[in-house]
């Protein structure tokens, strides 16, 4: 055995109270940075904490506090499979967490609409809420609204698309540049030496995740596959109907499209187009997000690869991070890093 040989019991607040020669209440005050303690006393306590290597037992703390964490997810009101999966996961986790003093809820805001998003954020009751997870565009008004949340002590995480210029505490989602690079690599390798054009479906130029994917995609295409010509992005606004209408024209105008990178939501439109039989030979397709529809497409050979992020992990991670930030506890970076999942029909998870 290499670890856990001896079992020196962890010090408790009783120990530090004893060592610092103060009462439990005082230890608690400095632990929680509450006012009304003389500076000298604070020092004494901190010294004892450091000397004993004290780490607070959050489970016991929460039990005593009777605290209930209240977290809100703000999501686009758009309807697509990825979002409903996210919502399903929130509901499921919410049920599981009812018995761990944590309440989750979500609200909807018009997609790609920074003004509506800012308004929704501003309308939140900062007194009643401990943390907010935001999936939406990055604009000055959104940044301001986030700053306002932070001022009022609310923890903020960005979800799926980062808002790095804001004061958000953490970003929960994949590295979208790397995701775009991965898509390019797959498409390029699968196509082999043949020459032709690549069509890119995106959602909106306002969505940071979509932009970043395109960036990464172009970079690898230019570097490794110069014989493939990447066309301008088709903006589908994550809307299946719009996408279905746009595709035929784009394909016809350009000719010789041998690959498609569907980098946003709305796969349904693309699939409807394929199923109409209007496309021979079928281009190699790399799409995003594993959903019932994309699974089927993968299984049936309509999609060749799907790049995905696990919505369950996304939601669990957002909640863990918001809790940790709230408790001023450290987060485990490795556990919270959302993986860029690559799915072929062979490694799709069951169900």
Binding mask 23-62 for its own copies (x = CB under 8 A): --------------------------------x-x-xx-x
Q: Is the peptide bond before 281 cis (omega within 30 degrees of 0)?
A: yes
Q: Give the distance from CA 12 to its chain's centroid.
A: 36
Closest to 131 measured CA to CA, from 343, 341, 289, 317 = 317
> What's the maximum distance between 2 C-alpha atoms anywhere in the chain?
82
Residue 148's alpha-carbon distances to 136, 157, 167, 288, in angstroms, are 17, 14, 10, 33
Task: List the interface residues with its own copies, window 272-311 (CB under 8 A).
Answer: 304, 310
* 47 touches, from its own copies, DNA, none (C-beta below 5 to 8 Å by class): none
Question: Rounded to whole angstroms, how far apart are CA atoms 341 and 217?
Answer: 16
Contact region for its own copies (CB under 8 A) — 38-46, 176-184, 206-214, 263-271?
176-184
Q: Is 1 an interacting residue with respect to its own copies (CB under 8 A)? A: yes
3-class DSSP state of 266 = coil
CB of 15 to its own copies, least distance (A): 14
Residues numbered 83-142 forming contacts with its own copies, rule: CB under 8 A: 87, 90-91, 94, 96, 98-100, 103-107
Binding site partner of 107, from its own copies, DNA, none, Cβ cut-off 5-8 A by kind: its own copies
* Contact partner at residue 226 from its own copies, DNA, none, CB < 5 to 8 Å by partner kind: none
Q: How far apart are CA 21 and CA 349, in angstroms?
A: 57
Distance CA 132, CA 154 (A): 7
| Binding at 339: pick from DNA, its own copies, none (beta carbon under 5-8 Å per type) | its own copies
Q: How far is CA 34 from the centre of its chain?
A: 33
DSSP β-ladder status, 341-343 and 305-308:
antiparallel
Element (H, E) at 149: helix 140-151
Query: How far apart (Å, rounded) are the C-alpha atoms in residues 292 and 294?
Result: 6
Are 310 and 342 in contact by the 8 Å Cβ rule? The answer is no
Interatomic CA distance for residues 346 and 336, integer angstroms? 26
Residue 155 is a binding residue for its own copies (CB under 8 A): no
Q: Which of residues 18-77 bind DNA (CB under 7 A)?
A: 21-29, 31-32, 36-38, 40-41, 54, 56-57, 60-61, 63-67
Q: How many residues bind its own copies (CB under 8 A)?
A: 60
Residue from the set 1, 8, 9, 128 that interacts with DNA by CB under 7 A: 9
Pick from 68, 205, 222, 232 the residue near its own copies by CB under 8 A.
68
Q: Which uninterrupted H or E stretch holds 156?
A: strand 155-159
Nearest to its own copies of 107, 147 (CB atom) = 107
Binds its own copies (CB under 8 A): choice among 24, 25, 50, 63 = 63
Question: What are the structure tokens assigned to 222, written together?
Answer: 């230019």
Which residues of this protein are in contact with its own copies, per CB under 8 A? Answer: 1-5, 7, 10, 55, 57, 59-60, 62-63, 68, 70, 72, 87, 90-91, 94, 96, 98-100, 103-107, 178-179, 181-182, 184-186, 189-190, 192, 216, 220, 304, 310, 312-313, 316, 332, 334-335, 337, 339-347, 349
Which residues of this protein are in contact with DNA, per CB under 7 A? Answer: 9, 12-14, 21-29, 31-32, 36-38, 40-41, 54, 56-57, 60-61, 63-67
């Amino acid at each position: 055995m290499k670890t856990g040989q001896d079992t020196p019991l962890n010090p408790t607040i009783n120990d530090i109270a004893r060592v610092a020669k103060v009462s439990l209440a005082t230890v608690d005050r400095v632990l929680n940075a509450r006012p009304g303690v003389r500076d000298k006393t604070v020092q004494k306590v901190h010294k004892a904490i450091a000397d004993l290597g004290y780490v607070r037992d959050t489970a016991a703390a929460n039990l005593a506090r009777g605290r209930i964490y209240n977290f809100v997810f703000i999501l686009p009101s758009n309807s697509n499979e990825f979002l409903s999966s996210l919502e399903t996961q929130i509901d499921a986790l919410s049920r599981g967490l009812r018995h761990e003093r944590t309440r989750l809820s979500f609200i909807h805001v018009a997609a790609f609409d920074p003004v509506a998003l800012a308004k929704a954020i501003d309308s939140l009751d900062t007194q009643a809420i401990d943390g907010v997870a935001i999936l939406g565009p990055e604009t000055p008004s959104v940044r301001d609204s986030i700053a306002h949340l932070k001022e009022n002590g609310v923890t903020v995480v960005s979800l799926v698309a980062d808002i790095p210029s804001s004061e958000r505490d953490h970003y929960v989602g994949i590295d979208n540049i790397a995701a775009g690079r991965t898509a390019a690599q797959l498409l390029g390798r699968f196509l082999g030496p043949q020459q032709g054009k690549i069509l890119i479906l995106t959602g909106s130029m306002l969505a940071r995740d979509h932009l970043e994917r395109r960036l990464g995609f172009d970079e690898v295409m230019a570097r490794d596959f110069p014989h493939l010509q990447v066309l301008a992005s088709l903006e589908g606004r994550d809307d299946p109907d719009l996408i279905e209408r746009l595709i035929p024209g784009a394909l016809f105008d350009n000719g010789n499209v041998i690959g498609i990178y569907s980098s946003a939501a709305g796969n349904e439109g693309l699939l409807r187009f394929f199923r109409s039989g209007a496309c021979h030979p079928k281009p190699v397709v790399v799409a995003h997000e594993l959903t019932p529809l994309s699974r089927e497409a993968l299984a049936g050979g309509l999609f060749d690869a799907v790049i995905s992020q696990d919505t369950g992990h996304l939601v669990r991670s957002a909640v863990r991070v918001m809790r940790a930030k709230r408790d001023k506890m450290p987060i485990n970076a490795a556990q919270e890093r959302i993986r860029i999942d690559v799915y072929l029909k062979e490694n799709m998870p069951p169900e």
